[in-house]
Amino acid sequence: MTLVLGAIADDFTGATDLANNLVRSGMRTVQMLGVPTGKPLPEGVDAVVVALKSRTCPVEEALADSLAALDWLTEQGARQVFFKYCSTFDSTAEGNIGPVADALLERLGGDQTVMVPAFPTTGRTVYQGHLFVGDRLLNDSGMQDHPLNPMTDADLVRVLGAQTSHAVGLLSHSVIRQGAEACASHLERLGGDKVRHVICDTLDDADLEVLAAACVELPLVTGGSGLGQALPAEYRRKGWLEAVDDAAR
């Protein structure tokens, strides 16, 4: 089996969260600190999570490190790439979520990606494009006082729109509850309108499963670690991932 998932995380703790979810869902996962250089992968690895320090650094540095990580993961034959950021979407008007997602998508030759920051298990959900922390909007959750990336707007379509020159759209919960095929059709329609980034409503783990089924063929997915718990089942359905009982090895 070849490497199934190559993930690029914008900080260490987020990388660890994603790696944990992947292992719990049956993927043999290696976490690496910084951009790997000339390090061969061990045998029997299904996923690699590269932990960067790109959340709050200058945009140019975030782009350089993220693209270098992508190039290495591509050399390893990763079938899908996952850009992992925080489930609170914390960033600035300059980035780094939008610029990094744009650069990764362009390098991969893709036209569209999904934005799935929600992690319902920890109380982070998205509804009508607005991010909630528990029962509070993001901008009323304490994140508005973040010392580095204060989040004063819960509308993720608007937040991301300030970080990219490309169109940003929404995959609403009314579509998600219709299932994966409806989501895929909606993404296709948005793509026809040149919508590159799609914020995805997510209220619970069942929504994550629907989204994973709808986006498993995309070259790039982005989001919090919640999506990582749903993707492995889709990889197994595709025949990309074998069932193992020692994923934590």
Candidates 25, 1, 2; CA nearest to 247 is 25
Any idea what the CATH number is for the domain that residue 118 is in? 3.40.50.10840
Secondary structure (3-state) at 80: strand
Pairing of strands 113-116, 130-133: unpaired
Mean pLDDT of the chain: 96
Question: What total number of domains does the chain contain?
Answer: 1
Whether 245 is in a domain gets the answer no
Q: Can you give the pTM of this predicted structure?
A: 0.97
Whether 246 is in a domain gets the answer no
CA angle 97, 82, 91 (to 5 degrees): 15
Range of the domain at 217: 5-238
Pairing of strands 80-84, 47-51: unpaired
Residue 144 pLDDT greater than 90, yes or no: yes
Name the one residue in this structure whose structure tokens are 């074998």: 242
Question: Please, which contacts does 204-210 make with residues 24 or more away whose CB atoms are closer than 8 Å?
Answer: 204/120, 204/125, 205/120, 205/121, 205/229, 205/230, 207/118, 207/120, 207/173, 207/176, 208/116, 208/118, 208/120, 209/233, 210/176, 210/179, 210/180, 210/183
Whether 249 is in a domain gets the answer no
Residue 42 pLDDT greater than 70, yes or no: yes
Provide the pLDDT for residue 1: 61
Provide the pLDDT for residue 41: 86
Lowest model confidence (mean pLDDT) among 33-47, 60-74, 104-118: 33-47
Whether 247 is in a domain gets the answer no
Whether 248 is in a domain gets the answer no
Beta-bridge partner residues of 132: 125, 137
Per residue in 209-241, pLDDT (tens digit) is: 999 999 999 999 999 999 999 999 999 999 999
Residue 187 pLDDT greater than 80, yes or no: yes
Name the one residue in this structure whose structure tokens are 């492995």: 232
Per residue in 32-41, pLDDT (tens digit) is: 999 988 777 8
Provide the pLDDT for residue 2: 84
Whether 130 is in a domain gets the answer yes
Residue 101 pLDDT greater than 80, yes or no: yes
Contacts of 142 (CB under 8 A, 6+ apart): 133
